[in-house]
Amino acid sequence: MRTRTLIGLAVAASVAGFASAAFAATADDYKAAEAKADAAIKQAHALKNEWTTTADAMKQAKAAASAGKFDEAVKHAQEAETLANASIAQSREQEKLWPDAVVR
Amino acid sequence: MLRKLLIAVAMVAGAAQPLFAADAASDPKGEFKAFRDYFTNRFPKVALDDFVNGPYSMDEGLRKQWKAIDEFPPYDFAIDKGKEMFATPFKNGKSYGDCFPNKGIGVRQDYPQFDAKSGQVITLDMALNNCREANGEKPFDYTKDDMAALTAYMAFTSRGKPMNIKIPDDPRALAAYTNGKRYFYTRRGQLNFSCASCHVQNPGNHIRTEVLAPALGIMNAMPIYRSAWGGMGTTSRRLRTCNSQVRGVPLPGESEEYRDVEYYLSYMANGLPISGPGTRP
């Protein structure tokens, strides 16, 4: 029974691997992810609150895309978008919270 | 019924708006007193004038090291270079002294200033570059070397003079002060730190190997020779480094926020002696 389960899991894992290989990211996928990240970064820049880690992730995304590694490129672009959105949320939150920290 | 509810909501929203605005509004004189009281109550053994010595006012061991280093101050070369630069005429025959009251000697404590004409805060660094450009010279980089040398010399001629920052009766000046205060207390960067996180909430505590300096008098020592840099740096360089350390992308040197936060902190240090150029780990 246990052997059957293990075999089942192995088959499932190989199918999943095949599936992910079959649906590997393309240059267009990267362009879409990059555009989303760029839009968020632009907004963070306007708020004067970009994070260095956002820039690093975007740099890695561009390098991977240049090397034709689009899975990796999409992953880094999505990471950059997430970080940029977090910095935007931080700015929005701090617009309300900073007066509470003032020494009075 | 719905109309009444909407009106009630609108009234509550309208009433809430001024409450928030009042929270962020500035009362420089009251805030000056509260700021000073905060630090003197928290560090009752530190003499008021000693706060300008930053981490050395907080840590006896560090103070001993500083005293030893200061027997041959590492910023001396910058003072000498700045003095020479200051005395060297521009191509048009004029010099830096022509751009400042008292020929630029002993005036550092009066900067930053609010300039009614341009409607913005002018730091000493910016005044120096304005002077250069007005006389046909290219501006210096705001973060190091030449600018640090010039400001080191000017600070040296003001040593011991009390900081003397004015907020004129001009809503734009108050807005600049408030913007500086906002920048100082706003958390930023991936590490979610504000300037105040280190320099108000944690002065005297260690962050890695560094002893955090109190915000009170922190501008009085500028520019500084920093061992971590292996050289001199300006206020802009220090602020840019702080931004990077909390994983925030630094702003350009002497950007509006940097000038305004210097204005705010320098006002908070009014009456405390200029100690620059300084030495920091």
Residue A5 lies in a domain: no
Residue B248 lies in a domain: yes
Q: How many domains, chain A?
A: 1
Q: Is the pLDDT of residue A13 over 50?
A: no
Residue A11 lies in a domain: no
Interface test with A, best of B31, B35, B187 (most A CBs within 10 A): B187
Residue B17 lies in a domain: no
Query: How many angstroms separate the CA of residue B103 from the nearest CA in chain A?
Result: 37
CA distance B112 to B256: 12
Mean pLDDT of successive 10-residue stretches along chain B, which has 281 residues? 40 36 74 98 98 97 95 96 98 98 98 98 98 98 94 98 98 97 98 98 94 98 95 97 97 98 98 97 92
Of A12, A7, A30, A13, nearest in space to A77 by CA:
A30
Residue B145 lies in a domain: yes
Q: What is the pLDDT of residue B2?
A: 42
With cut-offs at 50, 70 and 90, classify the pLDDT of residue A23: low
Residue A2 lies in a domain: no
Residue A66 lies in a domain: yes
**What is the distance of C-alpha B176 from the center of its chain?**
13
In chain A, which residue's Cα lies nearest the Cα of B196?
A101
The two three-digit tokens of residue B130, written as one number: 């304005």
Burial class of B32 by CB neighbour count within 10 A (0 to 12, 13 to 18, 19+): middle
Residue A19 lies in a domain: no
Residue B19 lies in a domain: no
Residue A72 lies in a domain: yes
DSSP state string for B197-219: HHHTT-TTSEETTEEPPPSTTTT
Task: Name, in order, each residue with C-beta under 8 angstroms of B62's C-beta and a sequence gap of 6 or more.
Answer: B55, B56, B211, B281
Residue B20 lies in a domain: no
Q: How many residues does chain B have?
A: 281
The CATH number linked to B78 is 1.10.760.10
Residue B18 lies in a domain: no
Strands B206-207 and B120-122: unpaired
Residue B15 lies in a domain: no
* Residue range(s) defining the domain that contains residue A87: 25-101
Residue A18 lies in a domain: no
Q: Is the pLDDT of residue A7 over 90?
A: no
Q: How many domains, chain B?
A: 1
Residue A64 lies in a domain: yes
Query: How many angstroms separate the CA of residue A67 from the nearest CA in chain B?
Result: 27
Q: What is the pLDDT of residue B104?
A: 98
pTM, whole model, 2 decimals?
0.87
